[in-house]
Amino acid sequence: MISVSTIKSYMFCPLKLYFQSNIDEDVEEDYFISKTLKDLRIDIQDILHKNLRHIKKGMDENEIEKRLSIGISNQVKTTFEIIEEINDKEDIDESNLKKDEEIEFIDEEKKEKENDSLKELKKELINEINLNIKILSLKVSQSMKVLDKDGGEIQNLFFPTSMYNYLIRDIGLDLIGVIDKIEVEKGNYFPISLKSSNPPINGVWDGDFMEAIANALLIEQEFNTYVTVAYIDYLKIADRRAVIIDTDARKSFFKVLTSVNKIVENGEIPTVKTGLKKCENCEYKELCDNS
């Protein structure tokens, strides 16, 4: 069964997918961090939703912002403590297996790099959360004025009925995926992908486009419904972008799915252009340069 994340890897680079499927086994750590941060974002949505219920009409924007933020920095702090703790434990386990002095020196360097990248991740996440709270505060303040209602009465405007991290496995499509968020409004289902990456200037990235179609198809099978639009939330700039799930989108998805199957199931080596900008930080650069 093909996973939606496999399709995303293919969209980044078919050859990278080939290496991941046929050579690499060491992707667990990255997966753990990205899953934990995704869960954190969902927890923050929950906190914001709860805090919104305590916002009253007379409050100014600063006060709304403060009230909405209650409990969020603690949640961020705790999550990063957990990530650091698990990283430390993995490093200890690894170094117990290696006793060589040179390797220990290399491990120190590795540790420093890991710490720097965690700090950077945390900084980016805090900026993203602050931006989102500011925007939400402005919208809440304006909506309360216009509708003459308290926060608790307008919560559905900002937090429609949703399901988070929804796993769907469909035998017919031979596809499995965890959908970040499914919003349900008036019986219609909308798949939402939450992205912490930089957004493109226009539209959505190709990989996000394919993920949106895959999610729409999975929802159609699971809920016996028809999905016409999916959304990508680029959290860094608090921007929601639509993906129309029309016939062309569906056709292009199945074309990609066939190619992915050839690589994953049959071990077919794809031909791609190397030496591109995306290759600079790719962990398989050396393999490609030498081939």
- Which residues are near ligand SF4 by CB under 6 A? 13, 15-16, 19, 272, 274, 276, 278-279, 282, 284-285, 288
Kindly state the smallest distance separating residue 273's Cβ from ligand SF4, in Å. 7
What are φ and ψ of residue 286, in 5° steps?
A: -60, -40
Closer by beta carbon to ligand SF4, 25 or else 100:
25
Kindly state the smallest distance separating residue 198's Cβ from ligand SF4, in Å. 17
Closer by beta carbon to ligand SF4, 192 or else 264:
264
**How many of the other CB atoms lie within 10 Å of CB of 213?**
26
Closer by beta carbon to ligand SF4, 14 or else 151:
14
Closer by beta carbon to ligand SF4, 184 or else 279:
279
Kindly state the smallest distance separating residue 287's Cβ from ligand SF4, in Å. 7
Q: Are 179 and 166 in contact (CB under 8 A)?
A: yes
Closer by beta carbon to ligand SF4, 76 or else 288:
288
Kindly state the smallest distance separating residue 264's Cβ from ligand SF4, in Å. 15
Closer by beta carbon to ligand SF4, 244 or else 272:
272
Kindly state the smallest distance separating residue 13's Cβ from ligand SF4, in Å. 3
CA–CA dist 228, 179 (Å, integer): 16
Which residue in the block uniquely carries the two structure tokens 């990989």?
A: 207
Closer by beta carbon to ligand SF4, 196 or else 274:
274
Closer by beta carbon to ligand SF4, 156 or else 271:
271
Kindly state the smallest distance separating residue 265's Cβ from ligand SF4, in Å. 19
Report the candidate in 43, 44, 68 with the shortest Cα–Cα distance to residue 135.
68
Q: Are 231 and 243 in contact (CB under 8 A)?
A: yes
Kindly state the smallest distance separating residue 62's Cβ from ligand SF4, in Å. 46
For residue 41, give the amino acid letter. R
Beta strands 2-3 and 162-170 are unpaired
Kindly state the smallest distance separating residue 269's Cβ from ligand SF4, in Å. 11
